[in-house]
Amino acid sequence: MSEAEILFEVKEGLGLITLNRPKALNALTHGMILEMEKVLPGWEADPSIKAVVLRGAGDRAFCAGGDVIGLYREMRDNPSGTLRRDFFRDEYIVNRRIYRFAKPWISLIDGIDMGGGVGLSVHGSHSVASEKFLFAMPETTIGLFPDVGGGYFLTRLPGALGTFLALTSYRLKAADAVWAGIVDAHVPSARMGELLGALGVADLSGPDANRKADKVIAGYASDPGLPTLPALMPEIDRCFSAESVGEIEAKLKKQPGEWAQKQLAALLKLSPLSMAITLEQLRRCANRSFEDTMTIEYRMAQSCMRPDHDFFEGVRALLVDKDQKPKWTPPTIDAVTPAMVEAHFQPVANDLFFE
């Protein structure tokens, strides 16, 4: 028998979850999401479990994102299937459970943390990154948008940083993620095991459990080095605070220097429709609750699951055929109409609401 894709264990009062698809960089499948939703309510209610610790198997990744190839294959082979509906719905329910979890939720991120993986880590009470940490929200590269609560956490980052990360898929290492508040602390990979052991023997009870967990983690944290973002923030704010994708591109064209031209080149490769809906997502979610954000993102996700949407062309070009030549519809940002964007924000038959 093949080993389970996700492992659950209770040890020393900790509920341990291990994402167990190391060859696939622990990409999140629907089955893994459903297993989490089965286990987590019981752990939250169980007084013998003081905290949850989430980690990824192998030495490369925490979680590289959702299993979007599975969604592509269903669209191709079984157009009437329900995975494209249920995957996002169940994933967002788990994201919300993590956000509202009544006990410390501690993600030990010893490698790649992207897309759906960020949804499992950033909404918890504590996220700890090693020197192998690599963050990105790369959804726009495949014609999607930064979901899993991206509209909530990205809009709460400094200045226009969230818009920049959402549109460009720019990658951050630990020092920049700590500076931006995307992760809480840097702990060297070699000390992650020690930290886990210390959490096991620590008293994490009571209403100040999160503060107690802070103290334990601080005992193993070290300086991740100098962040690069502070020096870039003036340019990021100048260019990515614009009102439209077209204006952002125009500002980058006028901005001197290699950095701006590199970002412009990255944007010009992306789905114009994906960028437009992403900017609108961030605008609409900036001052909304987490639950409202997830409802908005579910509607967007379902619109992106139409067979003719850029999402499937992006997955085909980058992950299936790997020709790296997606044919976006429409092909330019000028051709994206307000109606095309607005269609992504309409209620859907299986709408997602939280009490």
- The pLDDT value recorded for residue 274 is 98
Question: 54 and 28 in contact (C-beta within 8 Å)?
Answer: no
pLDDT at position 1 over 60: no
How many Cα atoms within 13 Å fall on the side-chain side of residue 341? Answer: 22
Which tokens belong to 351? 């709408």
pTM equals: 0.96
- The pLDDT value recorded for residue 3 is 87
pLDDT at position 27 over 90: yes
Rounded mean pLDDT of 190-199? 98
Domain ranges of the chain: 6-345
* pLDDT tens-digit map of 87-120: 999 999 999 999 999 999 999 999 999 999 999 9
DSSP notation for 181-221: TSSSEE--GGGHHHHHHHHHHS---STTHHHHHHHHHHTT-
Distances (CA, A) of 246 to 261, 264, 268, 287: 15, 11, 11, 24
Rounded mean pLDDT of 158-186? 98
* pLDDT tens-digit map of 54-93: 999 999 999 999 999 999 999 999 999 999 999 999 999 9
Residues with catalytic annotation? 66, 116, 139, 147
Q: What is the CATH number of domain 6-345?
A: 3.90.226.10
